[in-house]
Amino acid sequence: MTELPLSGITVVSVEQAVAAPFATRQLADLGARVIKVERPGEGDFARRYDTTVQGQSSYFVWLNRSKESLTLDLKSSRGRDILEQLLAGADVFVQNLAPGAAARLGLDAAALVARHPTLIPCTVSGYGTTGPWADRKAYDLLIQCQTGLVSLTGTAGESARAGVSVADIAAGMYAYSGILTSLYTRAVSGVARAVEVSLFEALAEWMHQPAYYTRFGGIQPPRLGTQHATIAPYGAYPAADGQEVLFSVQNEREWAALCERFLERPDLVDDPRFATGPDRVTHRDALNEIVAERFRRSDSQEVTKLLDAAGIANAGVNSVAQFLDHPVLRERDRWCDVAIPGGSVPALVPPVDLAGTDPRMDAVPAVGAHTEAILAELGHDDDGIARLRADHVI
């Protein structure tokens, strides 16, 4: 197999929960050696979010394959000394500790750059390491609330959280791309640049469109369930068999095709209520009545067939179970077995395919599974490792 792009890169991560582990797992997918530093005994608290995956946490299994687990008590001087040994040979250091904790441990970016000029430190915080909210704890749903996302999600009668940890995922993606950028910069210029990402600012970037709409339109987009707030018709409607089908009209050509070939109402093409995209949004209720009536006359399979024939993008509203059995994932071989403590589970391969390479899909580690091997690499003998264990340093 062709060598992976990040083979030879060592990442040390003092990480927990979702955002930082998501960033480092993607580095591991590309071949980086990721040494995950965990608390002795209990490890990353995300290990205990649930026990649904053969006794393991669904979050932890998703986020931590292909990593090595090293347990260290970083409150002890010997634990910090071992971490310092690791950092001396590392390329990247990632942490998402609680506000102020990294600085107290001497692991803030400024201190690390002073001690290790070629190391790339990456900080994942809640609201940034400076500013009025630097000391506030931040979790995914809190960030969804603070950025206004929750106010956009749900129905007219009730707001809702996004169904996945979108703030964590956004921050993890930006941390990942920031680290890759810094590795490239170091390779071409020799300068190692620190990376910082906050959950708040990552999700704030994703809120730009509704922010512009609100700032310049004077009102924020309404909550409409599966309906699109600023495009119509664009949403899910129940067919005669009760199954919902979502479809989208993106331009005037598609609107004409929908009227003529699916709604069987060519007169609507020139109806002034629906002449433009903004007109259709303004008269959404009247348009929804017309669409809903047409849906009630056909079952979901027939609706899908007719929309396809008209060139209108559409999709059934799947359950998670239906997603798991999706033909695209199955026929494109997107599932791969990954070992976990006590068994194995199917995992989705990374969505970015690099020609000529296969992603790394190694095991999810048990707590401290690699502690002794890593310490031996650093020059610790069996007696020294035993003393560290007896003193609860590892």
Give Cα 344 distance to the centre of its chain: 22
User: Looking at the structure, do residues 261 and 194 belong to the same domain, yes or no?
Assistant: no
Structural domain contains residue 321: no
Structural domain contains residue 258: yes
Binning pLDDT at 50, 70 and 90, where does residue 38 land? very high
| Residues 132-152: tens digit of each pLDDT | 999 999 999 999 999 999 999
User: Looking at the structure, do residues 36 and 119 belong to the same domain, yes or no?
Assistant: yes
Structural domain contains residue 183: yes
8 Å CB contact between 154 and 223: yes
CB neighbour class for 383 (10 Å; exposed up to 12, middle 13-18, buried from 19): exposed
Here the CATH number for the domain that contains residue 17 is 3.40.50.10540
User: Looking at the structure, do residues 44 and 166 belong to the same domain, yes or no?
Assistant: yes
If one counts the domains in the chain, the total is 2
User: Looking at the structure, do residues 40 and 169 belong to the same domain, yes or no?
Assistant: yes
Average pLDDT, integer, range 71-87: 96
Average pLDDT, the chain: 95
Least confident of 164-173, 183-192, 219-228, 343-352: 219-228
With a cut of 80, say whether residue 119 has pLDDT above it: yes
Domain that holds residue 128: 10-207+334-390
Structural domain contains residue 225: no
Q: How far apart are CA 209 and CA 171, in angstroms?
A: 18
User: Looking at the structure, do residues 199 and 62 belong to the same domain, yes or no?
Assistant: yes
Structural domain contains residue 226: no
Q: What is the pTM of this model?
A: 0.91
User: Looking at the structure, do residues 147 and 279 belong to the same domain, yes or no?
Assistant: no
User: Which of 299-334 are b and which e, b meaning 16 or more Cβ less than 10 Å from the residue's Cβ?
Assistant: ebeebbebbeebebebebeeeeeeeeeeeeeeeeeb
Average pLDDT, integer, range 180-191: 96
User: Looking at the structure, do residues 192 and 62 belong to the same domain, yes or no?
Assistant: yes
Here the CATH number for the domain that contains residue 280 is 3.30.1540.10
Structural domain contains residue 2: no
Structural domain contains residue 323: no
**Which tokens hold the place of 340?**
């976990």
pLDDT at 1: 55
Single out the residue in 316, 348, 379 at which a domain terminates: 316
**What is the percent of the chain where pLDDT is above 70?**
100
